[in-house]
A and B are shown apart, each in its own frame.
Chain A
């Protein structure tokens, strides 16, 4: 097997902060523009998704996600937080957690006032 391996430092944690769907993302950099802590950098290649350079500075405010016209971003909470967020369905007693393998179907109810869920 031949593969090129580079010397890179350990990835910062959380590793990402956001998932960017590189099919949906059109590289408009609207997220880069507004992020309060400048987590993203524009990709040197035009129309390519931004580079998540400083994920450990992410405040998880969702500005990038709300700003994205292509719905290409979603939040990637740190794993330590995903594993903490648990809930139980009252009538069945079933346990769920954020990031579980086979999640229940999404609750599609929008927030009050009609904002984007």
Chain B
């Protein structure tokens, strides 16, 4: 079982790089539809475009069979409003999200995903994903419909969230892509978008990329391109030696799609919205410890003496029974559910939660640490569903938690599972394994490409899909559904569009950028040291509390880093080169967040955005989008109403727009 060190000690030599080195060698690949990012959005887009008859190429940093935030599996699917049991309509759901976010979300993405998320899930079922309790393991459970055998999450009355056995979902997509002869370029770090005539703002005609194993250069030429990349987990929270498994996003999460889109002149909104960096908690593996959040919604929490922490309704009233945790409170509409990219819920859509004054009650001695999740207090069905089904299928828990703990002897029928021991503030949120929230660690939240009802970006030929690249979107199911939808539109565009022409100068510039790092200079740093420095600037100058002076200083520090230390950074092999090129995406995304933060001269509860120099919370005159793009090196802003998607040139209702654009 050799590590590098063990190998060296055994053989007395350093192993040679195992792959052929092809620095500077170039291949051109043509497609009708090019997809950048092979997570669930990109793979579902590939399948959808291939079914439209398009020649599809997909470029992915990892390997499409397993990679992406949703690549390791999924346990529940939000917004399946058209499933036969749902009592929530696409309009109900979309309005609930838009009202809760005070307009700072994406009505287009939400309505599309609620309208065809169920169909998308049915496609997954056809590909081999189990979405029903076909073995009747949960017969008669209150969260199951005995006719359809569908299983519900969060709100057992409203039934728009489905629990699914999605552990093998990514493999199912992968085999379907193979069957449809999608060309897959794994281990490819995409470095730029190519535009007609090489001009930013022009029609997108492809992309460039570098292979992380061989260093080979790819020129992708495409009639239409879909960006389906991930977030930028490494932007604020970079400490692999410390965090390792503790993040919900992989090392590949470098904001590549955002960066190449911005460089190509596309418009973005909500980049100023960053969220608490809890999911990148320093140290505890996701869901590895006692908690009562998301997958564990409704789980009983007890203190060391067995005293149970009460659950409360959205109005703060104590609930008397366990069943009430899974129902809308009388008078409220429905539970929207967690993990859908919302940072504020209106009470009528909020889920019950642990007593909100828990930290204070711990401090006063009412509850003594450590706390535990006591699944034995749930019904056998509920316990089996949470641990045996959801933890056993969700990506970050399937092997890391379910298999590991089960092998280590943990038995949810007999054992109480300890929560982290931390300062009382750590128990403010039921997601205990996220640890104490650290105000300087943020993550991209709502920021992404501004899209229209075709999920087209502001650039001709460029579409966006997935919860990271599309602004204001939320969850796993949405990523699939947007991929499926955007690919229909991109394929239709590809059919009617002219043959793309690649600008040679643009390709040469991208190549020169990439290969300047393969020779060391006297003061070269490597990608990790550079990434730490980028994260430092983001943490210090763009944390939870921001101001004009510090943001401007942060921008100039990023600029200095990029022009000096980064320009001479060294990569010893193609893997390091890939990671280093991703750091250049981080620079761009960091600049985008800072520019957008400077432009919004107010604070906002809905955006979790606080300006020390503009403390006024959500003044009505700032209830607007500030679309941002870069032209001739200058970042420019304009204003856009939050409900632009229901104003001219669009129709005034969601359904009318959907009907006009969906096919």
Contact = CB atoms under 8 A, between A and B. Distances in A.
A96 B406 contact: no
Interface string A77-117: 11011001111111100001011100111111101111111
Instruction: Point out which of A41, A49, A112 has the most chain B C-beta atoms below 10 A from its C-beta.
Output: A112
Interface of B: 1-5, 7-9, 12, 15-16, 18, 61-63, 65-68, 71-72, 130, 135, 137, 165, 167-168, 187, 212-213, 240-242, 244-247, 250-252, 283-285, 288-289, 370, 372, 374, 376, 384-385, 388-389, 391-393, 395-396, 398-400, 402-411, 414-418, 420, 575
Contact of B408 (A15, A22, A96): A96
A8 B135 CA distance: 54
B36 to A, nearest CB: 16
Given A13-B244, A75-B399, A85-B405, 4 more contacts: A6-B12, A52-B1, A60-B396, A75-B404
A85 B289 contact: yes
Interface residues of A, number: 74
Instruction: Point out which of B5, B385, B398, B408 has the most chain A C-beta atoms below 10 A from its C-beta.
Output: B408
A105 B409 contact: yes
A36 B431 CA distance: 26
Given A6-B9, A35-B63, A112-B388, A98 B417 contact: no
A1 interface: no
A16 B137 CA distance: 38
16 contacts: A12-B241, A21-B1, A34-B63, A36-B63, A36-B71, A41-B15, A41-B18, A59-B247, A60-B399, A61-B71, A61-B396, A75-B403, A78-B245, A81-B283, A103-B409, A117-B406
B389 A113 contact: yes
A116 B61 CA distance: 27
Nearest to A113: B165
B406 A107 contact: yes
B63 A33 contact: yes
Contacts of B288: 77, 81, 84-85
B240 A57 contact: yes
Contacts, number: 230
B64 to A, nearest CB: 9
A65 B399 CA distance: 8
A109 B643 CA distance: 50
A67 B61 CA distance: 19
Nearest to A37: B251
Contacts of B71: 36, 61, 63
B409 A106 contact: yes
Given A13-B241, A36-B71, A84-B288, A49 B402 contact: no
A52 B2 contact: yes
A8 B63 CA distance: 31
B6 to A, nearest CB: 8
Contacts of A104: 408-409
Contacts of A52: 1-4
B401 to A, nearest CB: 9
B303 to A, nearest CB: 12
A108 B388 CA distance: 12
A101 to B, nearest CB: 12
Nearest to B9: A6
Instruction: Point out which of B240, B399, B402 has the most chain A C-beta atoms below 10 A from its C-beta.
Output: B399
Contacts of A78: 244-245
B307 to A, nearest CB: 14
A77 B285 CA distance: 9
A14 B559 CA distance: 32
Contacts of B9: 6, 8
Contacts of B374: 90
B384 A63 contact: no
A38 B8 contact: no
A62 B63 CA distance: 14
A88 to B, nearest CB: 5
What 4 A-B pairs have minimum CB-CB distances, sorted nearest first?
A62-B399, A111-B392, A104-B409, A36-B62
